[in-house]
Amino acid sequence: MVTDSCQNSHMRSFSWQISPDEFAAYHQRLRFQFQKWDSYVEGKLRLLPESLVLSPAEHQLIVEMSERLARILRGLERRLKQRPDLLARLGIPDVVRDWIQKEPDSDWQLARYDFFQTPDGRWQVCEFNEDVPGGFNEIISAARLLQPYHPGLKFVDEFAEALLRAVPARGRIALMYATGYAEDLQHMVVLQQLLRQRGQDSVLCSPRHLRKTWQGFTACGQKVAAGIRFYPGEWFGLLENRGDWEQAIRRWPMLNPLTRLITQSKAVFAVWEEAGVVSPDDLEFLREVAPLTYEAARQVESPEFWCELESQRPQWVLKQNFGRMGDNVVMGSLVTEAQWSAALAEVRKRPVDWVVQRCFEVAPLDFAAGPQYPAVGAYLINGRFVGYYSRVAPAPFLTHQAIYVPTLIDDRPFTVAGNSFGAKLAVPTNRSNAMN
């Protein structure tokens, strides 16, 4: 709950003082220096000359919440790896689930948690981007390109340094991505640039290129000491070189390990309710910051549940366990009754792949471009907050069409009637049952 109503104690938008020519130059540098190739989506520019500004208290709260979530999720992963019955409920393909149980425990993590602010000032998170989170280009470029247009405001610029600290400094790094997608390649190219700056070699490849040899592991014929994975974990069961991965999964370091699929699955929001999966204090915290979630497969024999979904459409969201960038997400409040009924019919065909979440309301924010709904993305490396990658959309539903906006902190002291103030926020205390 927000406890300070002073004018710069709340998240707000900030318009850059930038000319059209300067904005065009920024856009060009973003594309060609930082490899942001998909700034246009469906013919529309997905950038704004505007930013999000947080108060120090809001920033501190997001840092504390995201780092606590990371600690909880690492412990949850370790417990679920010992519980095949619960692990099976997450929708992870059988082959990959078997590998995860054999994979050594690892805190090696590159993740992003997206926080949404409700009208009463609470923060909610409805999924965890633990598998292949995007936004490297923007987060690395923000302070380097935009500081002159944000006088007095502070960027958090720790991503690149923290990533290089996390990656082994010796040996060639395999940068693995889905080679059919240029938007994935751009992430790997910007990481390749970082590694090259410290004199380290890397190879761009697919997981299909990994081989186990008598000398160790190779990718495209080159020996590799470790890997950075930007390839969806649930696809690994389709690889032709599964024999090589059977050995790699036990002994070859990879960021992110396949274990991250446990917390990538939307079903984890329901599974953590099982006794002993998390501590009572952590469960209370999770219930405060995350929406109520049901596994569709465990509601198949409940006609009352499906009737409620039909009759109270605006209060629910359907999500596929491993949908990405808004794919296979159906918000009841944004579709017609006919579309909702058709979506429910699809869920009931294969309920093991789906969850149903209670909606919560997202507060819009005024921008020069019109009201927008923000998602404040907190990036973490090895459980530590390192920066923001945030987006906005004209509706409370973010997809690949969402617009990137930098996020900054206004930590300047401010004065009202001769007194200096600092904004204060408290951790959320009530579970939300409103719309998203």
CB 223 within 8 A of CB 48: no
- DSSP E strands in 265-321: the ranges are 293-295, 316-320
Q: From first to last of the 436 residues of the chain, give the pLDDT tens digit.
A: 333 334 445 899 999 999 999 999 999 999 999 999 999 988 889 999 999 999 999 999 999 999 999 999 999 999 999 999 999 999 999 999 999 999 999 889 999 999 999 999 999 999 999 999 999 999 999 999 999 999 999 999 999 999 999 999 999 999 999 999 999 999 999 999 999 999 999 999 999 999 999 989 999 999 999 999 999 999 999 999 999 999 999 999 999 999 999 999 999 999 999 989 999 999 999 999 999 999 999 998 899 999 999 999 999 999 999 977 667 899 999 999 999 999 999 999 999 999 999 999 999 999 998 999 999 999 999 999 999 999 999 988 787 788 999 999 998 875 333 333 333 333 443 333 333 3
Looking at residue 2, what is its pLDDT? 33
Structure tokens, 270: 């329901």
Task: Give me the pLDDT at residue 326, please.
Answer: 61
Q: Which domains does the chain have, with CATH numbers?
A: 12-267+362-421 (no CATH), 292-358 (3.30.1490)
- Interacting residues of 161 by C-beta distance below 8 A, sequence separation 6+: none
401 near 325, Cβ under 8 Å? no
Cα angle value 230/233/234 (rounded, 5°): 140
Q: What is the pLDDT of residue 192?
A: 97
> In whole angstroms, what is the distance from residue 122 CA to residue 107 CA?
29
Quick one: which of 371, 303, 301, 362 has its CA closest to 331?
362
Compute the C-alpha angle 396/397/399, nearest 5°: 145
Rounded to whole angstroms, how far apart are CA atoms 248 and 221? 16
CA distances to 25, 26, 179, 405 from 18, in Å: 11, 10, 36, 15
> Is there a cis peptide before residue 137, judged by omega within 30 degrees of 0?
no
Q: What is the pLDDT of residue 398?
A: 80
Please name which of 312, 364, 358, 385 lies closest in space to residue 111, comparing C-alpha atoms.
385
The pTM (predicted TM-score) of the whole model is 0.90
